[in-house]
Amino acid sequence: HDLLVGTMLSRGFAGTFDFVHCPHDFDTRTANGYAFVNFLSADVAEQFRMTQNKALFPANANLTIHPADVQGFFDNVKAFLSKRQRKNMR
């Protein structure tokens, strides 16, 4: 998490995102190798994708960036609740 955020800040994206989540394995305490970033605008998200996709990450790995199927906090909450309701109906 800190490495990703630090890299984003050093590459000029300070103040352009408000949420970063890097899932990890609780048993091994290692990162799963992917992250979720919420940018404050679609334009900045696209700029990040265009400039950082396939860029070298400090851990000697190339970033591969994919936009989420659902964009925005409220739309994600709505999709989550809808999926949960469908699951409970079974």
- pLDDT, position 87: 66
Confidence class for position 63, pLDDT limits 50, 70, 90: confident
The candidate with the shortest Cα–Cα distance to 24, out of 3, 6, 9, is: 3
- pLDDT, position 13: 96
Give the pTM. Answer: 0.74
Average pLDDT over residues 60-78: 83
Cα distance between residue 61 and residue 32, in whole Å: 13
pLDDT per residue as tens digits for the range 3-46: 889 999 999 999 999 999 888 888 988 888 888 999 999 899 99
- What type of residue is 71? Q
